[in-house]
Structure 1
Amino acid sequence: MSSIFLHLQKVHDLVHDFPMKLNYSKPKIYTGGVDIHQWSKLSKKEQKDALSKYWYVYYSYRNPKSGKLVRQSNIKGGANQYKDKQSRYHVLKMLKKGLEIVLQDGFSPYNINVSLEEYIQQKFQNKSNSKNKSTTRLESIQDSNETEENTVVLNIEDAFKLGLDTKNKVLNENSYPKFKSRINRFKKWLLESNFEMQKCITTITKKHVIEYLNTVLQNSSPRNRNNTRTDLSSLFQVLEDNDVIQENFIKKINVLKAIPERNKTYKTSQLKEIHDYLDKEDPILSLFVKFIAFNTLRPIEVCRLKIGDLDLVDKKLYVRAKNKPVKVKIIPDILLSELEILHGKKTDLLLFTPNNIGGEWDTNESNRRDYFTKKFKKVKDHFGLGKNYGLYSFRHTYITIMYQNLAKTFTPHEVKSKLMLITGHATMNALEQYLRDIDAVLPDDYSKLLK
């Protein structure tokens, strides 16, 4: 894209500062000799012929010597690299609007001391200095006698590739596949909606994204719709950060209220039956569950553990958690007594594998979690437990038990302060919200209040 396009695209912020001048004609767009507003009525041949010609913005400016309006050089701004009407016209409309603003400000093509690009740079330099901001950095792009130049505004295909490549470097191996899947589903929807991947990325509007999110909502749930919105916003934020688009408009799309789905807590009688059954039938899964229950770890965190992450001497455990790179937790004695089998094992071995405590397992952590989730499904079926029960239920249940036991002795604030050290929640507010979600805090019997 030409430097003319880059500069004219940025002048909108100054529009209210510009005085009116009458030394020029209003800029117009040449669209291959056809009426752009009658495009749908043109034959395929007429459309093809129009697109085979150069499209551009043109205007006239009053010659200071003769006093007559004189046609100036055409401004293409790289629009002709696009082979479809929508993308090409979209770019030229932005050029036209930007040119109108700088002409209103008093720019003259007859000023031999400054070019259009230099004029806009000076205006932004003055603007930023007056507001005590950092100088706006405009990338320098080499001009080549009205030839099409370096692409800055990307097409949809290249913009999505930029976003995915960037996110692949910053998201972990568990998050990126989900992110990529949602972006690819949006891309598929665009294709089904007759979008061409070679169109300019700026042809995707807020309205299009809202329409897609409504489709996701109708086919799934408010939660999935909100997660899709988050991932699309993350993609478009990469594009904004790389100056591919001016604004990430998806941030302005509302978030729907979604009722979270959570695992139920187990009854005391259920806990004893399940633990007894696991100890007898599946010792590996039994120990896996106890790390969730006694160390309040999430299943994915247990799957990440290696032998070397456990310090049995100092009774400490090191795990990559959801809210920080490495979290240090103590190993309670109730669990430590079951870890004697780890002595002498290599520190780089995974703690849990399908057949051993301490071994090698060549698959990613998501697959390891899915394996133990499916394995526990057989236990649920044995006890007739519904879909609302799962491995996560052990974490909820034992945090509830600890809260209720602490509440017998300490004040509510003291209870939460002590519990926060055990659960690993980053803030008191996060812990309080979690306790409300799992209904850990219940009132005493209030029968006397009903009399």
Structure 2
Amino acid sequence: MLNRFFMHSIYDFLTLDLQNEHDLEHKKLYSEPKIYDGNGDLTKRWYLYFSYVNPKTGKKERCKNIYGKTNRYKTKAERYHILNIYKKRLSKLLHEGFNPYANNQELYEKRKANQQAKTTKSNVVVEGITSNSVSIDKAKEQLEKEKTIPEAFDFALSIKKNLVGASTLSDYKSRCNKLIEYLNTNYPDVKTINQLEKKHVIAFLNSVLQSTSARNRNNYRTCLRSIFQSLEDNELISANFIKRIKLLQAKPQKNKTYTVKEQEMIFKYLESNDKVLLLFIKFISYNLLRPIEVCRLKVKDLNLEQNIVQFQAKNKAFKTKIIPEILLSELPDLSKLDANALLFTPNGFGKQWDATEVNRRGYFTSRF
């Protein structure tokens, strides 16, 4: 009898306790954190999300997604594991009174005091939310070590240095600097690479579009996509969001061609006044080389026994072309020139010229 009474009392106690929790559920200011897994799609960004009562509206509203380091992991198991850790820690913080709409300094100080009084339980900061993995001091240290945008770009450019040509590297650096200038003017609070978001880059690309063209805007996007891929590959950012920025349709601009009469007049003038520039133009016209490829040519790159020219092309490390007959007769006597000297220089054929490829191309463009 006593045993039955005891069990009944326990049952009543449990149901009463559950009823109280049920009442609290309706008064709770937040919804329990949930995991978004992109339906298992690893190409999508996975994250943690929750809602909290907005003090202005009195209604629960979706808060900022929490990514942390989730998307650095390449398997489902790893992503579920890290997100479940974040979920457990966030639930604890919300239960303790964390409020995304308020200053949580008091909560922070309370947690810090409790930790110092008890043991060395650690905390980690996950996009502004403190959790139990690394000490607060270590979290601050990690934030201080987070690379600024210029530092991150310099790192990516140092990686690219051994992967692309000098002109491409110079182009990358120039376009990155333009983005930095834009951010300093329009988003001065965006300092670190992890603060930089897709919307900031889209705004920058729109400014390029408005001041120049769709083609130039697309070129900026292509450059930044390559730089950000290096940052993702080296785990400085969680994902390369530039890949999700669409290319714009650009109308090709056709260059106006010279008439036969104009071309003859130009060649006739250069024959008397600038034979170096004339041959430079003929290498472009007859051998179909790009201006910068002509600027790279050294005397030794021309093999007159086989009538071929070998050069570094844009899409290949080494390329060979046959020199057409119409061009062979125009070449100077190469046997009298330094084999390691540049074929085209400001002072004539086969001279030394201490200038970068980009500057050499710029010189002949201006000369033309």
Q: Displacement of 1:153 after TM fit?
A: 5.4
Which of 108, 124, 127 is 1:91 aligned to?
Answer: 127
Alignment of structure 1 residues 118-197 onto 2, 5 Å = 147-148=138-139, 154-196=147-189
Helix, strand or coil at the partner of 1:225: helix
Q: Displacement of 1:303 after TM fit?
A: 0.9
Answer yes or no: is 1:225 the counterpart of 2:217.
Answer: yes
Q: Counterpart of 2:91?
A: 26
8 Å Cα contact 1:29-1:55 kept in structure 2: no
Distance of 1:226 and 1:286 partners within structure 2: 34
Amino acid at match of 1:158: E
Distance of 2:122 and 2:274 partners within structure 1: 74
Higher relative contact order (CA 8 A, sep 6+): 1
Distance of 2:136 and 2:189 partners within structure 1: 30
Answer yes or no: is 1:270 the counterpart of 2:262.
Answer: yes
Distance of 2:239 and 2:71 partners within structure 1: 16
Q: Displacement of 1:305 after TM fit?
A: 0.6
Which of 267, 278, 289 is 1:286 aligned to?
Answer: 278
Answer yes or no: is 1:316 the counterpart of 2:308.
Answer: yes
8 Å Cα contact 1:301-1:321 kept in structure 2: yes
Task: Give the TM-score, by structure 1 length.
Answer: 0.56
Q: Displacement of 1:158 after TM fit?
A: 3.3
Distance of 1:9 and 1:337 partners within structure 2: 60
Distance of 2:88 and 2:353 partners within structure 1: 75
Distance of 2:75 and 2:128 partners within structure 1: 15
Q: Counterpart of 1:139?
A: none
Amino acid at match of 1:261: Q
Distance of 2:280 and 2:74 partners within structure 1: 60
Q: Displacement of 1:328 after TM fit?
A: 0.5
Q: Displacement of 1:315 after TM fit?
A: 0.8
8 Å Cα contact 1:288-1:302 kept in structure 2: yes
Q: Displacement of 1:319 after TM fit?
A: 0.9
8 Å Cα contact 1:155-1:198 kept in structure 2: yes
Quickly say closer, same or farther: Cα 1:29–1:282, change in 2 above 3 A.
farther
8 Å Cα contact 1:56-1:74 kept in structure 2: no
1:397-425, Cα deviation, whole Å (9 max, x unpaired):
xxxxxxxxxxxxxxxxxxxxxxxxxxxxx
Q: Displacement of 1:11 after TM fit?
A: 9.8
Q: Counterpart of 1:354?
A: 346
Percent of aligned pairs with the same residue?
Answer: 38
Q: Structure 1 unaligned segments of length 5 or more: list them.
A: 40-46, 58-70, 80-89, 100-115, 117-142, 377-451
Quickly say closer, same or farther: Cα 1:190–1:76, change in 2 above 3 A.
farther
Q: Matched residue pairs, number?
A: 292
Q: Structure 2 unaligned segments of length 5 or more: list them.
A: 1-67, 113-117
Helix, strand or coil at the partner of 2:310: strand
Quickly say closer, same or farther: Cα 1:29–1:161, change in 2 above 3 A.
farther
Alignment of structure 1 residues 373-388 onto 2, 5 Å = 373-376=365-368
Quickly say closer, same or farther: Cα 1:259–1:161, change in 2 above 3 A.
same
8 Å Cα contact 1:316-1:330 kept in structure 2: yes
Quickly say closer, same or farther: Cα 1:56–1:222, change in 2 above 3 A.
farther
Which of 358, 367, 379 is 2:359 aligned to?
Answer: 367
Q: What value does the CA root-mean-square deviation take over the aligned residues?
A: 4.0
Q: Counterpart of 1:341?
A: 333
Quickly say closer, same or farther: Cα 1:205–1:338, change in 2 above 3 A.
same
Distance of 2:276 and 2:284 partners within structure 1: 13
Q: Counterpart of 2:25?
A: none
8 Å Cα contact 1:226-1:256 kept in structure 2: yes
Q: Counterpart of 2:26?
A: none
1:353-408, Cα deviation, whole Å (9 max, x unpaired):
112111111111221112221122xxxxxxxxxxxxxxxxxxxxxxxxxxxxxxxx
8 Å Cα contact 2:121-2:135 kept in structure 1: no
Amino acid at match of 1:186: L
Q: Displacement of 1:146 after TM fit?
A: 6.8
